Chain A
């Protein structure tokens, strides 16, 4: 086993090169991970590549991480020079092992600024880091640096969803989703609605409830007319299981005092989502059927949910919704 300083140096430099070569030869690597392997078995590289998954054997980490960490800090302190390619390789290695090392991300930001690094490569690296570290705050924050690039919103939402699925109640992933809605979608209603309708199929939690509320706020800030579209979707029995968005729509509807006149004017305008039109008669039906949100309607809805045979989780949400109506909404009556 390598123990002398020279042997460690040689080993580490080889491993960093192996990682760099792996990415060059296999541009489709989509996941990284640590392979539990306490000792080096044979005289071969600890970097393992199987079906687009990149693994690092755990025995080498205790040599690798301190070495590259130290090298980067020496560079930062101007005590050791590293050329651009070496910086790219070293930061890549570092961030795949510990993506919350802010300095490494900042070095990459500098490389981006001077054109020595392709933005796509950085987005790819952070996406990979999130496969192993789905909460990593510094990785999510690094993605904010790319607001000016032409990356697709759907791709960004996929990164969020994948990370949210990898870790329960992944706050940072949902927080990033809000960032995308605010800074990338910039209130593009169609994108916002469709993506968020898909998002709510994920497991229920209060975190997601809070996120959905904020998502609606972001969307509705842009165009008040769509509140009727949302009401139509959400209040139709059986279409939408969750009570969380209903609560937020209720709150938003009753806080749009200023736009009452606008709302009436927009009711007659057909809405369109994904090619499906909602003609005027549907809006009139909403009003006739008493489907617009009032406190009484909501309490009736809650009681029918509680008395129905739906699952305990849904009943819990109904109770929480009732508590919210009694606590928060009643305070303003």
Chain B
């Protein structure tokens, strides 16, 4: 742990309540710019669901597990550094393939909850700045492995809300930066996982509303 810890400082006048209407306007305006990558990712995940039998699942599981590191996390290839984004992909994958029991939930849960910095925000790996998208990658991973209570929820919520832009709507990666749809999605999804009642419940594995998944009868495994 270095003497100068990388973190942000949340100013006293940072947004502290959820500006849902502003975000709705922001996304609606963005949609008119014909940028459909959000819908692409949604449809592709549903497509994968329907076509699981075309993949050699055993080999895929074997490869994913070979990327597990000594700290319980996952890197992009065997021996690579653990990274929250990779961890989310791997835990989601292991959930979809019914292999969550292969994880060391205590070890991984500890690494994940150590992502939380004094500002309340989460980073993606040690010695990095917090970023609102990790409110999703880290938080969803913790939810999947049943250890979401290892995070200080109130502090994280404060950080996420501080990333809003009061004028334009939307969320930025950290307080004061420019907003974009990517961070808006993960800011909202993170708040949902934290239990915000103004937002629909979101599924941590597929990042989709739970009611949609219930309609199509899809309930990926979670550890308790």
Listed in ascending order, the chain A residues whose CB lies under 8 Å from chain B are 137, 140-141, 169, 171-172, 175-176, 178-179, 204-207, 210-211, 213-214, 312-313, 316-317, 320, 324, 327-328, 331
Contact = CB atoms under 8 A, between A and B. Distances in A.
Interface string B160-176: 00000000000000000
Interface stretch (B10-18, B92-100, B104-112): B104-112
A172 B150 contact: no
A172 B79 contact: yes
Given A214-B70, A327-B113, 15 more contacts: A140-B79, A141-B78, A141-B79, A169-B126, A171-B80, A175-B80, A204-B1, A206-B114, A210-B70, A214-B71, A313-B3, A316-B1, A317-B1, A320-B1, A328-B110
Contacts of B111: 210
Contact of B71 (A137, A210, A317): A210
Nearest to A203: B2
A169 B70 contact: no
A171 B109 contact: no
B80 A172 contact: yes
A178 B72 CA distance: 13
Interface residues of B, number: 21
Contacts of A141: 78-79
Contacts of B70: 175, 178, 210-211, 213-214
A169 B79 contact: no
A324 B110 contact: yes
A175 B79 contact: yes
Contact of A171 (B1, B78, B81, B106): B81
Interface string B104-144: 00100111011000000000001100000000000000000
B150 A327 contact: yes
Contacts of A213: 70
Contacts of B79: 137, 140-141, 172, 175-176, 179
A207 B126 contact: yes
Contacts of A313: 1, 3
Contacts of B110: 324, 327-328
B155 interface: no
Most chain A CB within 10 A, of B79, B106, B110, B127, is at: B79
Classify the secondary structure of B's interface with A: loop
23 contacts: A137-B77, A169-B127, A172-B79, A172-B80, A172-B81, A175-B81, A205-B1, A205-B127, A206-B1, A206-B114, A207-B126, A210-B70, A210-B111, A214-B70, A214-B71, A313-B1, A313-B3, A320-B1, A320-B114, A324-B110, A328-B106, A328-B110, A328-B150
A126 to B, nearest CB: 14
User: What are the 8 A-B residue pairs with the smallest beta carbon separation, nearest first?
Assistant: A214-B70, A171-B81, A210-B71, A175-B79, A206-B126, A316-B1, A178-B70, A327-B150
A328 B1 contact: no
B78 to A, nearest CB: 7
Contacts of B82: 171
Contacts of A316: 1
Interface string B54-79: 00000000000000011100000111
Contacts of A179: 79
Contacts of A328: 106, 109-110, 150
A228 B114 CA distance: 29
A205 B106 contact: no
Contacts of B127: 169, 205
A134 to B, nearest CB: 13
